[in-house]
Amino acid sequence: MSKCNKIFSELKPFNKEIFRKRFWDTEKDKPQSLLLTELFDYYIENRENIKPTTIDSLRYTRNRFENFKAGITVGDVTVSFLKEI
């Protein structure tokens, strides 16, 4: 879902000023950590025009990483780690 659609769907009733403020507030949309699950979810939610099959592949990959090592972060992914998988 695009950023505008997401904000619009959350504003009930619609308020133009709040919409503009939330649209330009970019800090809220950024992931808060380097956990792979959050980064995958952020990418899926904020990237436009992703094919459903690509979304399924991204979710599968996210889940495989999480199943292999719970709470995995970007820093944990190294060449030796990938060879273990």
pLDDT for res 1? 46
pLDDT for res 76? 93
Residue 27 φ then ψ, to 5° = -65, -35
Cis-peptide, bond into residue 13, ω within 30° of zero: yes
Q: CB within 8 A of 83, min separation 6: which ones?
A: none
Sign of CA dihedral 19, 55, 66, 78: negative
C-beta separation of 34 from 73 below 8 A: yes
Residue 80 φ then ψ, to 5° = -65, -35
**In this predicted model, what pLDDT tens digit does every residue of 24-49 receive, in sequence order?**
876 556 777 889 999 999 889 888 88
C-beta separation of 22 from 28 below 8 A: yes
**pLDDT category of residue 4 using cuts at 50, 70 and 90:** confident
**pLDDT > 50? residue 77:** yes
Query: Does this model's pTM top 0.85?
Result: no
Residue spans of the domains in the chain: they are: 1-30, 31-85
**pLDDT category of residue 8 using cuts at 50, 70 and 90:** confident
